[in-house]
Amino acid sequence: MDSVIVVGGGLAGLRAAQGLREGGHTGAITLVSAERHLPYDRPPLSKDVLAGAADDTTLEADWDALRCEVLLGERATGLRLDAPGAGGALASTAGELRFDGLVIATGAAPVTLPGGGRQRVLRTVEDALDLRAALVPGTRLAIVGAGWIGAEVATAAAAKGCAVTVVEAAEAPLASALGPEVGALTARWYAEAGVGLRTGVKVAAVEDGGLALAGGERIDADEVVVGVGVRPVLGWLEGSGLLLERGVVTDASFRATGADGAPRPDVVAVGDCAAWWSARYGRRLLVEHWDTALNAPAVAAAALLGRDAAYDAVPYFWSEQFGRMVQYAGVHGASERLVRRGDPAEAAWAVVWLTGDRLDAILAVGRPRDLVQARRVIAAGTPVDPAALADPGVPVRQAVRA
């Protein structure tokens, strides 16, 4: 393989380039990035950058050792594939670029709402720096969405003296991620931080000076932040012959699937735009989390270099909100029961999801040891004692059945 193009200049794209070199690729690598910055870390944008603790989150990389041509500020516009294994050509704002191997790592873009008013999103470093400048004492801030990003923005804004109102269409914060029962356990955090939380409220439009709600009411605001999710950036792949279903459909090795249902040995997809097959869960997963973008590209690079590789890690995510470290691992959508570890009214507690005597997932608030041990148990698939798990004084590893 003489030349590989990596489309996407985020963490997944950088890690793919590193994985190719570490895997022995000696040919050319070209990184095409729509942003004008070298790859940087996104999780700190809603944490350290908004809080004023950092301005720059550029990722460390030995670009000389990578021997990677970087095309910043250039966007992919189309893709033409030759026969499977024969590469193709990338259409971009920098011109047509031929390749033998292709890494798709174009990530996702924030969903926006109807209306002509200004609505901020938080995806890029420019977004974070611009929003930080607007978070001054007395600013009336309306946040649409009480998910992970909404909670982190509310945390930073409240700490800066803003008057914050969070509007959520679901009946509880984090309902789409954790379910309404568990999400409701976090609602009091907003009140304790002086943040207004309105659940079960839908937004009709973002207007000048605030939000128009579906019931006809209005919320006045100087600034509006929308955090209602993201969608994979796939428009440039329309008509390419790749199978697209919520993301780029791939096998467990991140090889992209063609319209004929067969994997392409010369095209892989990673990060927020990849819908990859998980043997562990028996379905495709689209995981929009940093941990996957960090670790999955090594597998994708190995697959592109023709090696047998598969990725089947337990999904993991963390958030810092209202002075709490919140961590989640696993997949709980099909779980049978929920077990609490500790009192959610206390500073540290956890909940676990079970199917029979199998641990499916955990949410840990201020209990990092629970998270680490549970993640190992989930990965191993070993049975547990539900009664022992319900006792917060029993370490998770000691709840494993012999």
pLDDT value, residue 336: 96
| The predicted structure's pLDDT at residue 298 | 97
Q: Would you kindly state where each structural domain of the chain is located, as residue ranges? A: 3-109+230-304, 112-226, 323-399
| pLDDT of residue 170 exceeding 90 | yes
Please give the structure tokens belonging to residue 60: 């460390």
Rounded-to-integer distance, Cα 28 and Cα 128, Å: 34
Mean pLDDT across 346-350: 96
pLDDT of residue 35: 96
Measured CA to CA, the distance from residue 76 to residue 93 in angstroms comes to 7
Average pLDDT for 97-123:
97
Check whether 1 has a pLDDT greater than 90: no
Task: Please state which architecture CATH assigns to domain 323-399.
Answer: 2-Layer Sandwich (3.30)
pLDDT digits (tens, 9 = 90+) for 324-345: 999 999 999 999 999 999 999 9
Q: Which of 287, 370, 388, 359 is nearest to 327 (CA)?
A: 370
Q: pLDDT (tens digit, 9 = 90+) per residue, 6-48? A: 999 999 999 999 999 999 999 999 999 999 999 999 999 999 9
Looking at every residue in the chain, the average pLDDT score rounds to 96
- Amino acid 90 reads L
Q: Specify whether domain 3-109+230-304 bears CATH 3.90.470.20.
A: no
Question: Mean of the pLDDT values across residues 341-360?
Answer: 96
Residue type (1 letter), 74: E
Sign of CA pseudo-dihedral 115, 117, 123, 126: positive
Query: What integer is the mean pLDDT of 74-85?
Result: 96
Residues 209-233: what's their mean pLDDT?
97
**Confidence at residue 146, expressed as pLDDT on a 0 to 100 scale:** 98
Among 3, 9, 120, smallest CA distance to 58 is for: 9
pLDDT of 64 strictly over 90: yes
Write out pLDDT tens, residues 126-158: 999 999 999 999 999 999 999 999 999 999 999
Mean pLDDT over residues 281-304, rounded?
95
**Residue 321's pLDDT band (cuts 50, 70, 90):** very high
Judge whether residue 402 has pLDDT over 80.
Answer: no
What pLDDT sits at residue 75?
97
Domains 3-109+230-304 and 323-399 share a fold: no
pTM: 0.95
- Fold classification of 112-226 is FAD/NAD(P)-binding domain (3.50.50)
